[in-house]
Amino acid sequence: MSTEFKLLKRVLSRYSTPMTLNYPSSVVPERKYSQIPSGLRGVPERDRDKCIGCRACYFACSGRATEVIDEGNKRVIDIFLFRCTFCAHCQEACPEEAIKLTERFEVAFPRDEPGAHVSTELDLLTCERCGRPYATKRMLERTYERLMEKIDPLVKETVSNDYRKLIGYCPDCRRANSVALDTHTKKYVWLEGV
Amino acid sequence: MVNEFILLLSMLVVVFVGLFLGVIYSFLLRKISARLQWRVGPLMSVYSDLRPLLGTTRVLQPLYDVMKLFGKETIVPEVSRRRLFLYSPYISLTFAVLAVLFIPFPGAPLLSSTPYSLILASYLLIGAALFSVLGPVASGSPWAAVGVRREAELFLVSELGFVLSIFSVAIARGSLTIWEIANSPPRPILTAVAGALMLAAMLGKLHIKPFDMPEAEAEIVAGPYTEYSGRLLGTYYLARIFILYGLMALFVSLLLPPLSTSIIWLPAYLVSTLVLVFLLALIQVLNPRYRIGNALIWYVKILIPLSILNIVVLVV
Amino acid sequence: MGIIERARVYSPWIYHLHCGGCNGCDIEILAALAPRFDVERFGIQLVPSPRHADILVATGCVPKQFVPMVKRVYSQVPEPKVVVAVGSCACGGSLFYDDSPENYAILGSVDRVIPVDVYVPGCAPKPEAIINGIVQAVMKLNHKKG
Amino acid sequence: MKFATDPKLLEFVKEICPDGLEYRQLHENRVAVRVRVEDLEGLADLFIKFGARLIHATAIDLEMKGFEILHIYDFSKVRERLVIILEAHTERPEVPSIGKVTWQARWAEREMKELLGIEFVGMPDERHQFLPYEWPEPVEGGAQKGSEFIPMNMPITEAYQTLIPIGPYHPGVIEGQTVYVKVEGEDVVAADIKTGFHHRGIMKLIERRGYGRGVFAAEKICGICSGAHGLAYVTCVENLYESEVPDRALYIRTLLAELNRMQSHLLWIGVVADVIGWKTGFMLTWGLRERVMDIIEAITGNRVNYGVWRVGGVSRDVPQELAERARRAVEGLKEECSELLALVADHPVVKSRLIGVGKLSYEQAFDGGAVGPVARGSNWKMDVRADNPPHAIYDPKLISWEVVTDNGCDSYARTIVRVKELLVSAGIVSQCLEHLSKTTGEIRAKPRSIPVGAEAVGLNEAPRGELAYYIRASDRDENLPQGIRIRTPSYRNNAVLPLMLVGCNLADVPVIMGSIDQCLACTDRVEVIGENYRRSMGWEELVAMSRRASRW
């Protein structure tokens, strides 16, 4: 019986003041939530003007919660929150730090209420030769800027006007324009004067 | 004619007061055992900004549970024997309410002055508990069968303790009507010994933690009440509230004689029942559940010495 | 609202329906009953039998072997009942979701088996999010006539 | 810290095995031995008598080239830190079974038979392990007839015997498994287990994600020990190539692995208290557990899936002042835990419910291959952190800790082992945090390319026992593994459970099931077989199916 009295003494002394939070109500604000640390992985948010539509988050998403829908000249990048597990792989993969996991974790969606999607819309450029949409405008600008930063100055001049020559075409048309298969020697030959 | 009318009126009043007190006792059982487990339990006063949504207080939480159950659909499994399954909750409730009528409340002697009222009250209580066992037998679920077997074994032992303690008091006082026992002069030694025996028996009857094997969630789903739902389950919970009140009132009227006789003793009556509830909550918090075998052994271990002690006290 | 509707809101009993997940969300539901978040303050209790339940808290991406059992338990719960899907597995079948040929072992999300009323996504949502979901489910209880 | 490979190892292995076999030294004292299929059984007998322990028996499907049977043995009891992998190549899927030689291979062979289609000659127990019993008759709409009638070897002979299914839905068991108990009155005469309700085919999902992103799926196998799975997977991938993990990352990994163990043991003590009907024990231990969860959440950003494990290091650093704050919190938590758990452990009724219940003697534990606290509770000093440590800081020179054992051989002994382990883990956590709060350093090394045809075994001590990963690198595709095999601790403890259940009281069955702290989500995590059930899918079909599924 002695341990029961020891237990009773300990319970009465230490555990009689409840550690309960008053969660749904904010009568005492600091006792509403258990804790919201700075790095909490909550609902992701995508910054509309930083995102360049490069689909890095789409490839990094292991749970296949991110979808990229290209129709017409619109590219929609959409995270379906019901499949997202808030693992922050997309935040790591994004070159532009456009997507960031906020600290909002209190998400409950009744059945008929929409809103379980985080989507941004970007306009797609269509290729001048075959008219197929191939990349977003902002992506081309960003790649050009990065190219210019990283390239060593000697080659910079030739590369930039080559780049400007091919800027308006989709990858297939670029290949068709710049290279042709010489049937005789079975080799690809550079076309001059595109 | 007039005092019959007063009697009827006081019976009606005591039934409602009994219900109210039973609800308060089971709320306190939940609240105190929650406070001893480092948490809050049903709120006395809901937070101010949630009042319109969740009501002002949760003191009547057991009553809300019962009323909600009355509002739910009742499912009767076709495996069960319909009539016994359907009617046993109501019979158990009527037995419990009748038992309450025979136990005096301060200021309302009710029927406690009829001769042999002690036997009637204890048999009605046993009847209420019995029918809460008969219904599940008819429900045909294996879990209920195991639960009922455990309840029967526990029933055997705790009733033995209950009857021993009651009749030792009756022999000591020399009468079988509760009203005379309640008015007889107090005898502290008798109260102590018979009280200990009756408290131990109450643990088994009320399924307080060390002895709640019939409703062990981890082992046998919900024990006897697995197949019950909706109104039937609601009446069973109501019957248990009345049994809780009845046992408390019987304990006070038999063992603390002057308290339940007249209205002036009402505050002392309430204080003593609250102390009893606190004691039960304490036992519930500190003890895990016995196996059914150990429970029987434990009961036998404490029944024999206590009853011998009772006889010694009677002789003195 | 009448007494019965008010009583329904004051004492919602939850039953934990485990549909084959990784038991991360199940532990968070039990954490909602533990001292820190103690949902018994509002009368919410975890009941052992589906017969006594009002709210079914479903977790896990339903493997095929669970399908008959989930349907049977869902049918045993008496009317006005509400289902809360907790966790990304139950809401949308997080990484087990397979849009191409049907995965031989998994059905994906709970709403392919039983109608779900409130979704609480998150890979192990915090207990506060689960309580928020249950409170919204309690509000819907009264719209579903018994 | 370079992972030394001991040169004298090869001579030792050559002594034991008969000559004329082909030996290959892998990273970190693992030796791969290529043998013929016929002498697998002989070698198994030789190793078991020598005192080795079978970690896992599994197979890799090389589609056109047939199967490769792998038996992985751990010699840590005989010689410090040695793991031998027996590899036998076979065209036809008929292989002699070693189920008779050692009890440990029974479940592994049942799993291989039903999911890779390998016929084992002389298998003691042919029933399905994870799939419904009446597979491959098509299970219409998933309605599993099997759960009603179970062709078990427990026929009901006498009248008073009853067969009680403690079925997939039982409040005492959090997850879905069916324990069939043959009962005479209240005493259990025979018991058997049907798992497979959590079968999600996770191993194939991990394979399809490649090495880098496989961690994401490995963590999702089990909600309670997700940290252990992350560390084991990462250790296994790093064993594939000469990995060079920075020091600070190793400390952060140890910290998270031990925090995961602390919250898992506190959770378990609460669940056992609840199963024996003691709500106060449940509430108090889970109240303390919230403090551990706060520390985990502050460090990793999520209470359950830490999402921090990366191949070659860790993805999130622990700032120094957070480490200091967490250390103070852990110190306070440590003596509060020791006081409360001392009271919980020697409560008279708790003792009466746990002592002498679920007995497992040392021989049964060793033959049956029990792991973790279940083995340590039967007086077997076996801990992966001491024998084959994962890529984290566990050597006694840097962090002082010791392996806890108890010779009670019953549920109560397992409780004591887990309580003491909890305090040892708290010690490790405070030492790690102290080191992290003083030093800084980069936390991630650049992973190098995986050599062709490499293979590796990654071992880690999960809260429930030894967790083994085996990865075979593909010889064609640089980023996709050929096959991943996972053997979780509950897989072994569940296999030993029927031994403990025989002879106990019906009321104790949930207590015993609780005492091995089983995690069903771990046990069923296996392979994919094709829609037309009869034959297992070839490599091209699998890759084609997965390509359609995942858009490459």
Best residue of D164, D169, D170, D346 to probe chain B, by most B CBs closer than 10 Å = D170
- Which residue in chain A has the smallest CA separation from C117? A111
CA torsion through residues B211, B212, B214, B217, sign: negative
**C102-137 pLDDT tens trace:** 566 778 888 888 999 999 998 889 999 999 999 999
Checking if the pLDDT of B255 tops 50, the result is yes
pLDDT interval class at A175 (50, 70, 90)? confident
Give the confidence band of A15 by pLDDT, cuts at 50, 70, 90: confident
Task: Show the tokens assigned to B9.
Answer: 């009126």
Q: Where are the alpha helices (DSSP H) in chain C?
A: 3-10, 24-33, 67-76, 88-92, 127-141
Residue D93 C-alpha from the chain's centroid: 27
**What is the residue range of C27's domain?**
3-142
pLDDT higher than 90, residue D540: no
Binned at pLDDT 50, 70 and 90, residue B89 comes out as very high
Rounded average pLDDT over D122-130: 74
Q: Which of D497, D472, D496, D484 is nearest to D528 (CA)?
A: D484
pLDDT the model gives residue D156: 65
CATH code, C55: 3.40.50.12280
User: Cβ-count burial of A150 within 10 angstroms (0-12 exposed, 13-18 middle, 19+ buried)?
Assistant: exposed
| Element at B90 (helix H, strand E) | helix B82-102
* Range with top average pLDDT, A22-26, B134-138, C84-88, D5-9: C84-88
**For testing the chain B interface, which of A17, A20, A26, A32 should be mutated: the one with the most B CBs within 10 Å?**
A20
Q: Is D102 left (phi over 0), alpha (psi -120 to 50) or beta?
A: beta
Question: Which residue ranges does chain D devote to CATH 3.30.460.80?
Answer: 9-121
Instruction: List helix spans (H) across D348-471.
Output: 348-354, 362-368, 372-376, 384-387, 411-438
Q: How many domains does chain A have?
A: 1
What are the residue ranges of helices labelled H in chain A?
Answer: 2-14, 56-60, 89-93, 137-150, 153-166, 171-178
Convert C21-52 to b/e letters by CB count within 10 Å (16 or more is b): bbbbbbbbbbbbbbbbbbbbbbbbbbbbbbbb
Q: B152 or D7: whose pLDDT is higher?
A: B152
Task: With a cut of 70, say whether residue D147 has pLDDT above it.
Answer: no
The Cα D47–Cα D17 span in angstroms is: 9
What single DSSP character describes residue C123?
A: S
| In-domain check, residue A24 | no
Q: Each residue of A48-84: pLDDT tens digit?
A: 888 888 889 988 887 788 889 888 788 899 999 988 8
Residue D73 to residue D101: CA distance in whole angstroms: 14
Report the chain D residue with the minimal C-alpha distance to residue C62.
D198
Other Cβ atoms closer than 10 A to B308: 10
In A, minimum Cα distance to D220 occurs at A85
pLDDT tens digit sequence for D21-46: 788 877 777 888 888 888 888 888 88
Nearest Cβ partner for B289 among D170, D172, D276: D276
In D51-157, alpha helices (H)? 105-116
Q: State whether residue B219 sits within 8 Å of chain D by CB.
A: yes
Residue B65 Cα distances to B70, B72, B281, B297, D83, angstroms: 9, 11, 20, 35, 60
What distance in Å separates the CA atoms of residue A91 and residue A80, rounded to the nearest whole number?
A: 16
| B276-304: average pLDDT | 87
Q: List the single residue in C with minimal CA-CA distance to A36.
A: C126
- The percent of residues in chain B predicted with pLDDT above 90, rounded, is 23
Span A83-98, pLDDT tens digits? 888 988 899 889 888 9
Angle, CA of D236, D239 and D242, to the nearest 5°: 150
D283 inside 8 A of chain B by CB: yes
pLDDT at B222 over 80: no
Contact B291 D279 (CB under 8 A): no
Q: Is the pLDDT of residue D534 over 60?
A: no
Cβ–Cβ gap C42/B72 under 8 Å: no
Contacts of C80 in chain B (CB under 8 A): 71-73
- Under the banding of pLDDT at 50, 70 and 90, the label for residue D172 is low
Beta strands at A44-46 and D22-25: parallel, antiparallel or unpaired? unpaired
**Angstrom distance (rounded) from CA B81 to CA D439:** 74
Among C94-98, D456-460, D492-496, the range scoring the smallest mean pLDDT is C94-98
Q: In this predicted structure, what is the pLDDT of residue D539?
A: 37
Whichever domain contains A175, its CATH number is 3.30.70.20
For the domain spanning D202-521, the CATH number is 1.10.645.10
| CA dihedral sign of residues D422, D428, D430, D433 | negative
Confidence at D2, pLDDT banded by 50, 70, 90: very low
d(CA A125, CA A138): 10
* Domains contained in chain B, number: 1
B10-24, B120-134, D524-538: lowest mean pLDDT where? D524-538
The string of pLDDT tens digits covering residues D56-81 is 888 888 777 778 888 888 887 777 77
Nearest to C65 among D196, D282, D303 (CB): D196
Q: Does A88 touch chain D (CB under 8 A)?
A: yes
Q: What is the mean pLDDT of chain D?
A: 79
pLDDT score, position C101: 52
Asked if B38's CB is within 8 angstroms of D284's CB, the reply is yes
> CATH 1.10.645.10 spans which residues of chain D?
202-521
Q: Is residue A27 part of a domain?
A: no
What phi and psi values does residue D35 have, to the nearest 5 degrees? -125, 170
Mean pLDDT of D343-348: 84
Listed in sequence order, the residues at least 6 apart from B86 whose beta carbon sits closer than 8 Å to its beta carbon are: B76, B232
User: Residue C23: which H helix or E strand, with range?
Assistant: none
Task: Say which CATH architecture domain D9-121 belongs to.
Answer: 2-Layer Sandwich (3.30)
Structure tokens that stand for A133 in this block: 């949409």
Residue type, C124: A
Largest CA distance in chain B: 63
Closest-CA residue to A126 (of A168, A71, A166): A168
Q: Which of A21, A33, A83 sits opposite C94 (nearest CB)?
A: A83
Question: Which of D200, D224, D293 has its CB closest to that of C23?
Answer: D224
Interchain contact D166–B (C-beta under 8 A): no
The whole-chain average pLDDT of chain B stands at 87
Identity at C92, one-letter amino acid code = G
* pLDDT of D272: 86
Q: Per residue in D317-326, pLDDT tens?
A: 999 999 999 9
Number of domains composing chain C: 1
pLDDT band at residue D249 using 50, 70 and 90 as cut-offs? very high
Which pLDDT score, from 0 to 100, does residue D16 have?
A: 76
Query: What mean pLDDT do residues A111-121 have?
Result: 83
User: Is D137 near chain A, with CB under 8 Å?
Assistant: no
Confirm if D330 and D433 have CB atoms less than 8 A apart: yes
Residue B38 to residue D283, Cβ atoms within 8 A: yes
* DSSP H or E run through D126: none
**Is the per-residue pLDDT at C146 higher than 80?**
no
Residues of D with Cβ-Cβ distance to B218 under 8 angstroms: 171-172, 274-277, 510
Q: Does pLDDT of B304 surpass 50?
A: yes
Question: Which residue from D155, D178, D181 is spatially nearest to D509, judged by alpha carbons?
Answer: D181
In this prediction, what percent of chain D has a pLDDT beyond 90? 16
Q: How far from D279 is each of B274, B289, D340, D344, CA to CA, in Å? A: 22, 10, 15, 12
Which of B276-285, D83-92, D174-183 is the least confident region?
D174-183
> Which residue of A lies nearest to D209 if distances are taken between CA atoms?
A62
CB-CB neighbours of D100 under 10 Å: 15
B4 touches chain A (CB under 8 A): no
Instruction: Identify the H or E element spanning D182.
Output: strand D178-184
Q: Are B62 and B237 in contact (CB under 8 A)?
A: yes
Q: How far is D320 from chain A (nearest CA, A)?
A: 15
In the prediction, which pLDDT does C84 show? Answer: 94
Asked if the Cβ–Cβ distance from C27 to D531 is below 8 Å, we say no
A163-172, D188-197, D376-385: segment of lowest average pLDDT: D188-197
* Calpha distance B189→B172 (Å, rounded): 11
- B31 pLDDT band, cuts 50/70/90, is very high
Q: Provide, as residue numbers in chain A, all residues whose Cβ is less than 8 Å from the Cβ of B34.
A: 18
**Six-digit token pair at C33?**
């009953």
CA of A135 to nearest chain B CA: how many angstroms apart?
52
Single-letter code of the amino acid located at A171: P
User: DSSP for A150-188?
Assistant: HS-HHHHHHHHHHHHHHTTS-HHHHHHHHEEEETTTTEE
D148-187 residues touching C, CB cutoff 8 A: 167-169, 171, 174-176
Q: What is the pLDDT of residues D400-451, one digit of tens each?
A: 998 989 888 888 999 999 999 999 999 999 999 999 999 888 888 887 888 8
Q: Which residues on A lie below 8 Å from B38 (Cβ)?
A: 15-16, 18-19
Q: What is the mean predicted confidence (pLDDT) over D192-210?
A: 74
State how far the Cα of B246 lies from the Cα of B117, in Å rounded to an integer.
Answer: 14
Q: At B290, is the secondary structure helix, strand, or coil? A: coil
